Amino acid sequence: MLLKTILNRVHQIKGFVYTDVKFEEFPSLTITVKIESRKNGKGRCSLCGARCPGYDRLPERRFEFIPLWNIPVLLLCRLRRVSCSEHGVVVEQIPWAKGKEQTTTAFQIFLSQWAKLLSWKEVALRFRTSWDTVCLSLKRVVEYGLEHRDLSNIESIGVDEIAIGKGHDYVTMVYQIDDATKRLLWIGKDRKVKTLLRFFMDFGKERTKSIKFVCSDMWRPYLKVIAKKIPTALNILDRFHIMKKFNDALDKIRSGEAGKLRQDGKEPVLTKTRWLLLKRPQNLTCKQKGHLKKLLQYNLKSVRAYLLREDFQHFWSVYIINMGIKIPG
Ligand SMILES: [Zn+2]
């Protein structure tokens, strides 16, 4: 009786009522709840949704519902077949499950919420169902989400690649990174020009027009597609890659210049200064700081390159952040 009251509160089914609740002991403890259609209520055609006269009833079907006290709960129902003027004799539409599936939508949602926290296998074990059921549940929830998601007014996106498995297998991920909404929008195999082109194709021309900011790394195929598809958007490159380029250039200038000083028989002021120039100033030891201060007084190409890099750091932290664009790192 209590279970029926709970079910009526949390999982009411329009046009149907809960009737018998039973404990089945074999093969394992299970709670079964019968569902019956309301008297005089007409069934709906599962193809068009129209109310139709009944035809006959099918043998009882069982649907997995959310377990109670970790005891599996099954909803039992003898579905009607209805006679639709357009589709002929078809099985009735049921609001608690999809098509021929044996899992209720409520249980699918429940499982997919747990699958965010635990592995699929663990979820299946804990709630006494199969791995396949967990997988199908996620598939259904994702399908529903994709059908109902709102992709309007996306202004900022982030493009990144991640390596999957061993070797050089990659996928391209596109995220929405607006202040109010951060979410994964799209995943595509590889990190080629055509991968990202496919995203823009799926995303559509109209929506693409609203993009104002794109964050990406300096992977050339991405830069190429971004420049082609959204030439008016501001492409913000990831700081890590820019700094790497800066440091590579700085190191090249320094070693060239150090060699030249030696060659010309001048004072070797650039000897042992590699890490002095490459490390972030805040990571230097006191002794190194003193050494750097002295070095910066020389009129050298390496010093100018160093100061340029530090200017860029300043630009990044002040200018970009003042524009209200929050970029991790
Ligand atoms: Zn129909």
Which residues make Cβ contacts (< 8 Å) with residue 260, sequence separation at least 6? none
Ligand 1 centroid, distance to 39 Cα (angstroms): 21
Ligand 1 centroid, distance to 85 Cα (angstroms): 7
Give the pLDDT score at 323.
55
Ligand 1 centroid, distance to 82 Cα (angstroms): 9
Ligand 1 centroid, distance to 47 Cα (angstroms): 5
| Helix 239-263, helix 301-314: angle, nearest 10 | 170
Mapping DSSP onto H, E and C, the string for the chain reads: CHHHHHHHHHCCCCCEEEEEEEEECCCCCEEEEEEEECCCCCEEECCCCCEECEEEECCCEEEEEEEECCEEEEEEECCEEEEECCCEEEEECCCCCCCCCCECHHHHHHHHHHCCCCCHHHHHHHCCCCHHHHHHHHHHHHHHHHHHCCCCCCCEEEEEEEECCCCCCEEEEEEEECCCCEEEEEEEECCCHHHHHHHHHHHCHHHHHCCCEEEECCCHHHHHHHHHHCCCCEEEECHHHHHHHHHHHHHHHHHHHHHHHHHCCCCCCCCCCHHHHHCCHHHCCHHHHHHHHHHCCCCCHHHHHHHHHHHHHHHHHHHHHHCCCCCCC
Residue 63 to residue 328: CA distance in whole angstroms: 46
Ligand 1 centroid, distance to 83 Cα (angstroms): 8
Residue 248 to residue 246: CA distance in whole angstroms: 6
Ligand 1 centroid, distance to 45 Cα (angstroms): 5
Ligand 1 centroid, distance to 229 Cα (angstroms): 44
Ligand 1 centroid, distance to 277 Cα (angstroms): 75
Ligand 1 centroid, distance to 55 Cα (angstroms): 13
Backbone angles phi and psi of 316, in degrees to 5: -65, -50
Ligand 1 centroid, distance to 61 Cα (angstroms): 22
76: its two tokens: 């039992």
Residue 136 to residue 122: CA distance in whole angstroms: 15
Residue appearing with tokens 């299970």: 30
Ligand 1 centroid, distance to 205 Cα (angstroms): 37
For the segment(s) 156-237, the CATH number from 3.30.420, 3.30.230, 1.10.3470, 2.60.40 is 3.30.420
Per-residue confidence in pLDDT tens, the chain, 329 aa: 788 888 888 899 988 999 999 999 888 899 999 999 988 888 999 999 999 999 999 999 999 999 988 899 999 999 999 999 999 999 999 999 988 899 999 999 999 999 999 999 999 999 999 999 999 999 999 999 999 999 999 999 999 999 988 888 999 999 999 988 899 999 999 999 999 999 999 999 999 999 999 999 888 999 999 999 999 998 888 778 888 889 999 999 999 999 999 898 888 888 888 888 888 888 888 988 998 898 888 899 999 999 999 888 887 776 655 554 544 44
Give the pLDDT score at 319.
61
Residue 157 to residue 196: CA distance in whole angstroms: 12
Residue 255 to residue 271: CA distance in whole angstroms: 9
Ligand 1 centroid, distance to 49 Cα (angstroms): 6
Ligand 1 centroid, distance to 50 Cα (angstroms): 6
Tell me the residues surrounding ligand 1 (ion) with CB < 5 Å.
45, 47-48, 84, 86-87
Ligand 1 centroid, distance to 51 Cα (angstroms): 8
Return the amino acid letter for 258. A
Q: ∠ at Cα 56 (55, 57), nearest 5°?
A: 140
Ligand 1 centroid, distance to 78 Cα (angstroms): 20
Ligand 1 centroid, distance to 57 Cα (angstroms): 17
Give the pLDDT score at 328.
45
Ligand 1 centroid, distance to 104 Cα (angstroms): 23
Ligand 1 centroid, distance to 99 Cα (angstroms): 14
Ligand 1 centroid, distance to 243 Cα (angstroms): 63
Q: ∠ at Cα 108 (104, 114), nearest 5°?
A: 145
Ligand 1 centroid, distance to 105 Cα (angstroms): 22
Ligand 1 centroid, distance to 16 Cα (angstroms): 20
Contact 92, 44 (CB under 8 A): yes
Ligand 1 centroid, distance to 140 Cα (angstroms): 24
Ligand 1 centroid, distance to 58 Cα (angstroms): 18
